[in-house]
């Protein structure tokens, strides 16, 4: 059997003597990565092409991915001599995660290592993997010694005009809106992840990077040079107030982060764990202290809430009343008055069975924000002292804010915080930060990231009021695909600027948006005044999942996702339509055969602030019609009937 498997792999991965073409095909044979040489000889410039195979039809989804790097000592992009393609291997790994869209994950791909040398005889490898849901590749310098600066990376994705694309303009906090574009005429720095739909509509793909570590910087996509070519670009000098070097320094042997292209249907995109699959396994031997959960959060409704002991206690009471594990003490906790200080607040929070989380400024000259405490995360000595105090005070996690850069020094800083926090069994939440790069697999106590334009923006101006309905239907296909996303969702009252999404829409976000630490943002009365069905739903809905399935939708229009925890299923669906109501036929074919479930469906009522609740018995063959108001939505739970 083993011999047959290897023979089949060799047939799938063949080197043509004429065109110098190498093909690596996914285990299900639907996706292939093809290596070409511009000069059609054994040396020159090399590029990858990614194809999608469906119903005997081949779609060329990315016609050209340019390859190569330049170090300060020599170039690895031009005149590269092909030496050999290594023996093909089947990567097969199963792993378990504590929080995310799926508890049991599989890392399975066909891999080939291609060896090159440049005219100076220096070696570079290209490691290519084809997965059932995408293609990944990375560079490797296999030589055993030497320290160099990477001057540039030439990886560039050619995306033909008429390809639909959902792109977000890059900023260091990664809090932009996504634009829907049909060509490359808008030339900017673009953030990850970037979503594309091929001109023939046959295939979707999402471009990202993963397994970023201390040996490199974060990158972004730029199409300034050629509008249809999205090139990987290092951070700008101005990021982090010009602190840190733009170009990363590497020490051999060295491997780059994985360049990740998730490929397939919209279901393949939404359900993919590819970013985590290719990232380094967990560094932690003991993980029982890592506990996903929901948290009450006072900043959205009261920017200075943590400055007030009474407000802190009110939000702790909210968490206790709703059965949520945590409450977050956001900025200004070190200036708390109004009846008590931090010690008093912690004593009260613990007395009612709630677990406190606490905020910190990342500090340093890389951020202009002076909010205190600003200096307690900056150095190893600072952190060890502070984490020891937090452990003694019974604080379970830290929210660290305002990083403002993805240069190599800042990547080191992120990882320093994670590694020091783990020594004291402190969970971590990054805010004002990069988007996920697979770190939650390596450091499972990294519970969530902001890196999104979330509900906090209702405090920053009137824009999210009108853009949220569409924005919310794009995020499940883009930002939330690649890792936990703390949008701080589910608000029924208004903050400084109102929302026009319906109550049904807001309730659905508790299922649609995945976050290992889900901060529910409304004020206490926003939850206390809900009808019983909605209130009970928010008490029970999990935020760490055993499975996730995409049901229906299209970016910017609508989306329905179901998630499972144990034997129970939860459904969230939203609609961005501004003018008209919309109906969805909800099918339950994701349920197991032969089992009946009690369905509690909480949908839009007759107007935006009203719910309509139905109770039904359903099975795998059931279908029901669900009405969503304009900017509306629905949520549902399904519990097995024994």
Neighbouring-strand partners of residue 429: 399, 448
Dist. CA 198–CA 62, nearest whole Å: 9
Banded pLDDT at 4 (limits 50, 70, 90): very low
* pLDDT value for 57: 86
Query: Once rounded to an integer, what is the mean pLDDT over residues 169-195?
Result: 96
Nearest to 596 by CA among 640, 544, 551, 532: 640
Dist. CA 466–CA 601, nearest whole Å: 27
Lowest mean pLDDT among 48-62, 400-414, 461-475, 589-603: 48-62
Per-residue model confidence as pLDDT tens digits over 616-626? 999 999 999 99
The pair of three-digit structure tokens given for residue 556, joined into one six-digit string? 């910017």
Banded pLDDT at 18 (limits 50, 70, 90): very low
The pair of three-digit structure tokens given for residue 459, joined into one six-digit string? 């405090």
* pLDDT value for 285: 94
CATH architecture for residues 486-642: Alpha-Beta Barrel (3.20)
The pair of three-digit structure tokens given for residue 165, joined into one six-digit string? 């694309």
* pLDDT value for 41: 82
- Yes or no: say if 626 and 588 are a contact pair by the CB < 8 Å rule: no
Query: Once rounded to an integer, what is the mean pLDDT over residues 387-401?
Result: 98
- Yes or no: say if 180 and 166 are a contact pair by the CB < 8 Å rule: yes
* pLDDT value for 59: 87
- 576's CB contacts (< 8 A; 6+ apart) are 469, 470, 472, 473, 556, 557, 558, 631
CATH numeric code, 293-451: 3.20.20.70
Dist. CA 278–CA 635, nearest whole Å: 33
Query: What rounded mean pLDDT belongs to the chain?
Result: 95
Which residue in the block uniquely carries the two structure tokens 């989306």? 559
Dist. CA 163–CA 199, nearest whole Å: 5
* pLDDT value for 7: 36
Lowest mean pLDDT among 3-7, 20-24, 558-562: 3-7
The angle subtended at Cα 635 by Cα 472 and Cα 569, nearest 5°, is 110
* pLDDT value for 23: 95
* pLDDT value for 574: 98
* pLDDT value for 21: 75
Would the pLDDT of 546 be above 70? yes
Q: Percent of the chain scored above 90 by pLDDT? A: 93
Per-residue model confidence as pLDDT tens digits over 322-334? 999 999 999 999 9
* pLDDT value for 19: 54
Would the pLDDT of 13 be above 60? no
Would the pLDDT of 588 be above 90? yes
* pLDDT value for 642: 84
Per-residue model confidence as pLDDT tens digits over 268-315? 999 999 999 999 999 999 999 999 999 999 999 999 999 999 999 999
Would the pLDDT of 2 be above 80? no
Would the pLDDT of 14 be above 80? no
* pLDDT value for 225: 85
Dist. CA 357–CA 58, nearest whole Å: 51
Query: Once rounded to an integer, what is the mean pLDDT over residues 332-348?
Result: 98
Class of domain 2-277: mainly beta
* pLDDT value for 54: 86
Would the pLDDT of 356 be above 70? yes
**Looking at the chain, which residues constitute the CATH 3.20.20.70 domain(s)?**
293-451, 486-642
Query: Once rounded to an integer, what is the mean pLDDT over residues 363-377?
Result: 94
- What is the pTM assigned to this prediction? 0.95
- Yes or no: say if 596 and 617 are a contact pair by the CB < 8 Å rule: yes
* pLDDT value for 217: 98
Per-residue model confidence as pLDDT tens digits over 234-264? 999 999 999 999 999 999 999 999 999 999 9
Per-residue model confidence as pLDDT tens digits over 199-224? 999 899 999 999 999 999 999 999 99
Per-residue model confidence as pLDDT tens digits over 114-166? 999 999 999 999 999 999 999 999 999 999 999 999 999 999 999 999 999 99
């Amino acid at each position: 059997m083993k011999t047959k498997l290897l023979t089949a792999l060799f047939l799938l991965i063949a080197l043509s003597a004429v065109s110098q073409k190498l093909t690596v095909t996914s285990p299900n044979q639907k996706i292939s990565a093809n290596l070409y040489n511009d000069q059609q000889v054994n040396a020159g410039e090399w590029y990858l092409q990614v194809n999608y195979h469906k119903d005997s039809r081949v779609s060329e989804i990315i016609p050209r991915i340019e390859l190569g790097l330049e170090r300060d000592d020599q170039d690895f992009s031009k005149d590269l001599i092909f030496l050999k393609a290594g023996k093909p291997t089947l990567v097969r790994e199963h792993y378990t995660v504590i929080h995310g869209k799926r508890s049991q994950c599989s890392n399975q791909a066909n891999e080939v290592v291609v060896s090159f040398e440049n005219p100076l005889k220096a070696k570079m490898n290209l490691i290519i993997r084809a997965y059932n849901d995408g293609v990944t590749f990375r560079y490797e310098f296999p030589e055993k010694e030497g320290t160099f600066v990477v001057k540039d990376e030439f990886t560039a994705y050619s995306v033909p005009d008429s390809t639909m694309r959902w792109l977000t303009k890059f900023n260091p906090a990664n809090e932009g809106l996504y634009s829907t574009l049909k060509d490359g005429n808008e030339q900017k720095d673009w953030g990850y992840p970037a979503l594309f739909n091929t001109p023939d509509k046959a295939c979707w793909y999402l471009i990202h990077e993963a397994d970023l570590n201390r040996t490199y910087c974060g990158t972004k996509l730029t199409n300034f040079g050629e509008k249809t070519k999205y090139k990987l670009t290092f951070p700008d000098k101005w990021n982090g107030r010009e602190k840190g070097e733009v170009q990363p320094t590497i020490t051999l042997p060295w491997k780059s982060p994985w360049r990740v292209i998730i490929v397939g249907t919209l279901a393949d995109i939404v359900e993919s764990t590819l970013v985590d699959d290719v990232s380094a396994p967990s560094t932690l031997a003991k993980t029982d202290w890592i506990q996903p959960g929901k948290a009450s959060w006072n900043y959205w409704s009261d920017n200075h809430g943590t400055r007030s002991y009474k407000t802190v206690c009110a939000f702790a009471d909210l968490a206790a009343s709703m059965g949520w594990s945590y409450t977050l003490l956001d900025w200004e906790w070190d200036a708390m008055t109004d009846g008590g200080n931090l010690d008093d607040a912690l004593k009260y929070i613990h007395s009612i069975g709630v677990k406190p989380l606490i905020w910190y400024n990342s500090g340093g000259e890389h951020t202009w924000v002076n909010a205190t405490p600003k200096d307690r995360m900056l150095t190893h000595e600072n952190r060890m002292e502070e984490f020891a105090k937090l452990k003694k005070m019974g604080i379970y996690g830290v929210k660290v804010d305002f990083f403002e850069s993805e240069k190599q020094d800042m990547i080191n800083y992120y990882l320093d915080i994670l590694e020091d926090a783990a020594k004291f069994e402190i969970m971590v939440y990054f805010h004002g930060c990069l988007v996920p790069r697979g770190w939650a697999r390596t450091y499972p106590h990294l519970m969530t990231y902001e890196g999104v334009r979330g509900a906090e923006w209702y405090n920053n101006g009137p824009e999210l009021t009108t853009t949220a309905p569409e924005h919310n239907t794009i995020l499940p296909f883009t930002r939330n695909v690649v890792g936990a996303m703390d949008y701080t969702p589910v608000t029924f009252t208004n903050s400084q600027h109102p929302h026009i999404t319906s109550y049904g829409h807001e309730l659905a976000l508790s299922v649609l948006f995945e976050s290992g630490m889900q901060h529910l943002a409304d004020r206490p009365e926003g939850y206390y005044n809900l009808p019983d069905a909605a209130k009970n739903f928010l008490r029970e809905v999990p935020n760490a999942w055993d499975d996730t399935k995409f049901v229906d939708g299209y970016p910017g229009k609508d989306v329905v996702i179901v998630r499972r925890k144990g034997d129970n299923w939860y459904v969230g669906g939203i609609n961005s339509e501004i003018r008209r109501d919309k109906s969805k036929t909800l099918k339950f074919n994701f349920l197991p055969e032969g089992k009946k479930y009690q369905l509690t469906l909480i949908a839009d009522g007759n107007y935006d602030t009203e719910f309509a609740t139905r109770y039904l018995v359903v099975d795998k063959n059931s279908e029901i019609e669900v009405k969503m108001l304009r900017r509306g939505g629905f949520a549902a739970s399904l519990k097995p009937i024994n």
